[in-house]
Structure 1
Amino acid sequence: MTPGDNGASTPEDDDPFGYLYADGQARGAQPPSGSGGYGYPNAVSRVRSVGERTYGGQQQAPQYGGNQTIPQQQPGGYGQPPSAAYQAPETFPGSAPTTRTPMPSSGGGRGRGPNTKGLLIGAIAVVAAVVIGISVAMLNGNGDDDKASGDASPSTSTSQSASPSPSSTSSVSGQLPKIDAKALHLDGGATLASDVKGAKSDGGIYVTDFNHVGAKITWTVNGIEKAGDFRLYARYSIPGADANATLSVNGKVNNQPIGLKNFIGSPKGDYEKGWQSTWAPVTLSKGANVIEIACNEGNQCDALFDQLWLQ
């Protein structure tokens, strides 16, 4: 060979596909044969790296400083699968057995971690018990201590007399009292009647002839257990026009008269459709109290009375 042409024997010119080109064919490149060879004649053989595995047999250690045996490629040719004699490394004698580490199961089996479902149920039960206890405590603490007193009418005679009753005294025993017209003490020409319908007192009896100065109704209440402020209610009827009267407690006149207004808008001149109720504040002492409703100068007293009560 000349210095300018090294031929096809150099590794860089050893083209396994040289037979496909015109210049390669001119240099004698041959396609792969049954023996597995290909390339140019006298082509440089490739030496495998030290320790590289060979197919179909054991690897031979390289001999340094001497001749070494180059393993030949197994039949099959270029582009063909390796020989069936290939065996995996772990199948060789002396190889360590291959073991597969099982992956931990993600299921919540018994003994594999805390029972989160049970903990959650327990927490919910505790919260529910606390909420129920708070609700019961709130309900028990919100009781209404100030109960409205019931209507406790004192025992009265069944006689429907047009004359005033000799007794107008009521006693308090647990409930605030209520009194009918015929149990009141009347003065100044006031009398009892039952002609106008609609009175709720016993027998439909009411106080009449109140519409003149000097007429007076007196109610004596005994046994007030505790001094304080109360409401005096009066059921009355007016002929469709506002009225009023002077209110006194234990001889002391209230700052304002008791208003007997036409709250329901009853027609004028009709006492039967004018029945309604009103109230005025009163301050009572412990024990006995005297309540008076009077027609004095400056009052408009055209009204009928059938019941009085405290609250």
Structure 2
Amino acid sequence: MTPGNNGASTPEDDDPFGYLYADGQANGAQPPSGGYGYPNSVSRVRTVGDRPRGQQHATYGQGVPPQQGAYGRPHAHYAAPETYPGGAPTTQQPAPGGGGGRRGPNTKGLLIGAVAVVAAVVIGIGVAMVSSDSGDDAAGGDATPTPTATESAEPTPTSSASGAAGEKELPSIDAKTLQLGGGATTASEVKGAKADGGFYVTGFNTVGASVTWKVDGIPESGKYTLFVGYGVPGKDADATLTVNGTPQTRKVNMANFAHAPEGDYAKGWTQTYNWIQLNKGTNELKISCEQGNQCDANLDRLWLAKGWVE
């Protein structure tokens, strides 16, 4: 066969570009307008979806009718699958698991995830706080703590036992360094005296006998307490106190607070006190046996405490 009169021997022998060559144009080849470039060539162009289900394919070489129907409407040759024997059922089957509708979101899983996130955040904050506290302890472990409002730098004496604290802060004196007068003297035969070496002042039971203490170093004028250490032979005694030349109305009370048996000086050691006013600097304190006093006592030491204490 020759192109242009009897057609190609087979469709695959058709040359779709025959009109581009001289021999093809001599044989009457034309540019394609629906088929190949030769006359009577087989048209293979087909509109998508134009073959109706169940119909036979168009005859080889025969054109396909154009698509009919407006956009969105069913094609004239189209039939739904369920119209054919054995076609798909038209009733929508419910989804497995019951309910017949779309499954909602997995709220239980979302809740578990949210709780896990919150727990992780809380644990992280706790670890950070513990680390911060550990760092603070390591940095300031040796620092001296600041005293609280209830702490005091020095205790305030509140009883006669606090005289020892006053003794450390203020001057004190014992029998060996007191200025003696009126026949008073020192001795150490009676045991139990708390003065240095066990000495005490004896011979005090005579009118005019006295001990004088010129005390220096009083930090400021004000109230002070004078403590007197003494021993009596199981009976009460007293004496006169003079401060800076002024006799005090209150006597030095040297009662038998130790409850010693009569005549036992060794078991009669105890202490007493008087409230006084002192000036800043130097002051003179005198204890003497005057008319009307009962002076049968031994004196071993004197000391001061700041304020009026017992």
Q: TM-score range by the shorter chain?
A: 0.5 to 0.7
Partners in 2 of 1:119 and 1:226 — Cα distance? 61
Moved over 6 A (4+): 122-125
Partners in 1 of 2:90 and 2:111 — Cα distance? 44
| Structure with the higher helix share, 1 or 2 | 2
Unpaired segments ≥5 residues, structure 2: 1-87, 138-143, 158-162, 306-310
Secondary structure of residue in 1 paired with 2:197 = helix
The 1:269–1:58 alpha-carbon spacing in structure 2 relative to 1, beyond 3 Å, is same
The structure having more radius of gyration, on CA atoms, is 2
Deviations 1:158-214 (A, max 9, x none): xxxxxxxxxxxxxxxx83111110111111111111111111212221111111211
Deviations 1:27-84 (A, max 9, x none): xxxxxxxxxxxxxxxxxxxxxxxxxxxxxx9689xxxxxxxxxxxxxxxxxxxxxxxx
Which letter does structure 2 place at the counterpart of 1:189?
G
1:249 is matched with 243
1:102, CA displacement in angstroms?
2.2
Which letter does structure 1 place at the counterpart of 2:106?
P
2:39 is matched with none
1:141 is matched with 149
1:276 is matched with 270
1:231, CA displacement in angstroms?
1.1
1:88 is matched with 93
Partners in 2 of 1:106 and 1:139 — Cα distance? 51
User: Is 1:197 the equivalent of 2:191?
Assistant: yes
Partners in 1 of 2:191 and 2:111 — Cα distance? 89
The TM-score normalised by the length of structure 1 is 0.54
1:31 is matched with none
Secondary structure of residue in 1 paired with 2:110 = coil
**Partners of 1:181 and 1:207 within 8 A in 2:** yes
1:41 is matched with none
1:265, CA displacement in angstroms?
0.9
Please, what is the CA RMSD of the aligned residues?
A: 4.0
Partners in 1 of 2:95 and 2:187 — Cα distance? 127
Alignment of 1:289-300 (within 5 A): 289-300=283-294
Secondary structure of residue in 2 paired with 1:105 = helix
Sequence identity (%)? 39
Partners in 2 of 1:231 and 1:98 — Cα distance? 98
Alignment of 1:208-287 (within 5 A): 208-287=202-281
1:234, CA displacement in angstroms?
1.0
The 1:108–1:215 alpha-carbon spacing in structure 2 relative to 1, beyond 3 Å, is farther
Secondary structure of residue in 1 paired with 2:272 = strand
**Partners of 2:184 and 2:209 within 8 A in 1:** yes
The 1:105–1:202 alpha-carbon spacing in structure 2 relative to 1, beyond 3 Å, is same
**Partners of 1:151 and 1:177 within 8 A in 2:** no
Secondary structure of residue in 1 paired with 2:122 = helix
Unpaired segments ≥5 residues, structure 1: 1-56, 61-86, 154-173
Deviations 1:109-130 (A, max 9, x none): 58855866348849987xx99x
The 1:108–1:138 alpha-carbon spacing in structure 2 relative to 1, beyond 3 Å, is farther
**Partners of 1:151 and 1:178 within 8 A in 2:** no
2:172 is matched with 178
